[in-house]
């Protein structure tokens, strides 16, 4: 579609995150969609549903093979990723100025692309022309259509830019690796914690050594200062006695 190519060539309405995606960013998904019980405030990501991944993220699915099979099965069936095909026919939900709660995206990599770039599915959906008039505003149909065309061009450019980010994410992390990145890292976490504890203990001992060394240096300096002060007093006393003897002789 030539029109799609023109839209893809347009710059995104806001700068996108150009930092290469890292493995640790998948932990963000676990933190948001499967938060620790200690969190009293839950983060909601509108129109994104990763409930099907919960058995992978909470460790119910134990093995990497089973987790990968779950992701692969979803990928070949009903996985809704971040692209115009997913979003194309959903403008009918925008007959009024109200957000809707339908889950449109259930791809973990798509969810991560949205989070990395501060975008929401709500921003990516096509709206009918009447959406671009305020509730009490009277606007000529031609002006309404012009507003819609301009907004839709920006929307399609943003979707195309996010799609490129999604393609980069998929190239860096094929769907077979996603399950492993989302699984709990109990053993690795314990190992990492032990390494951190060991490093902290090493730093503590090093700090104690440096503090003790500094203390000895201060004590040595104080002793030298006291010795120098004693020598100065002795020299002053000797000079005083010498001057007194000279005065007696005179």
Asked whether residue 23 falls in the same domain as residue 101, the answer is yes
The closest of 139, 130, 55 to 92, measured between CA atoms, is 130
**How many Å apart are CA 35 and CA 19, to the nearest integer?**
25
How many other C-beta atoms can be found within 10 angstroms of the C-beta atom of residue 3?
A: 9
Q: Of the residues 184, 204, 227, which one is the last residue of a structural domain? A: 184
Whether residues 152 and 226 fall in one domain: no
| pLDDT tens sequence across 57-77 | 877 876 667 777 777 676 666
pLDDT beyond 60 at 3: no
Question: Does residue 233 have a pLDDT over 80?
Answer: no
Q: Are residue 129 and residue 174 in the same domain, yes or no?
A: yes
Report the alpha-carbon angle 155-74-182, nearest 5: 85
- Output the CA–CA distances (angstroms, integers) from residue 213 to 216, 220, 225, in the order listed: 5, 11, 18
Residues 163 and 228 in one domain: no
For residues 40 and 12, membership in a common domain is answered with: yes
Q: Same domain for 151 and 105?
A: yes
Instruction: Give residues with Cβ within 8 angstroms of 166, minimum separation 6.
Output: 81, 82, 83, 109, 110, 113
Its domain, for residue 202, covers 185-250
141 CB-near residues (< 8 Å, 6+ apart): 129
pTM: 0.61
Give residue-wise pLDDT tens across range 15-33.
677 778 888 888 888 888 8
| Residues 127, 139 within the same domain | yes
């Amino acid at each position: 579609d030539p029109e799609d190519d023109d839209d893809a060539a347009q710059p995104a309405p806001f700068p996108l995150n150009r930092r290469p995606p890292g493995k640790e960013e998948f932990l963000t998904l676990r933190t948001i969609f499967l938060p620790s019980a200690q969190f009293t405030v839950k983060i909601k990501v509108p129109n994104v549903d990763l409930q099907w991944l919960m058995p992978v993220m909470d460790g119910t699915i134990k093995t990497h093979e089973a987790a990968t099979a779950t992701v692969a099965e979803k990928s070949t069936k009903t996985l809704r990723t971040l692209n115009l095909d997913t979003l194309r026919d959903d403008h009918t939900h925008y007959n009024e100025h109200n957000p809707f709660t339908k889950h449109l995206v259930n791809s973990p990599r798509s969810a991560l692309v949205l989070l990395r770039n501060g975008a929401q599915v709500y921003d990516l959906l096509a709206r009918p022309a009447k959406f671009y008039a305020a509730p009490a505003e009277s606007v000529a149909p031609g002006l309404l259509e012009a507003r819609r065309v301009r907004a839709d061009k920006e929307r399609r450019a943003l979707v195309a830019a996010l799609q490129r980010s999604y393609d980069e994410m998929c190239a860096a992390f094929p769907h077979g690796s996603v399950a492993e990145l989302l699984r709990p890292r109990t053993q690795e976490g314990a190992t990492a914690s032990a390494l951190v504890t060991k490093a902290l203990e090493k730093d503590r001992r090093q700090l104690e050594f440096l503090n003790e060394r500094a203390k000895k240096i201060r004590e040595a300096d104080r002793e030298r200062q006291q010795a120098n002060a004693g020598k100065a007093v002795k020299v002053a006393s000797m000079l005083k006695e010498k001057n007194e003897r000279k005065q007696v002789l005179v």
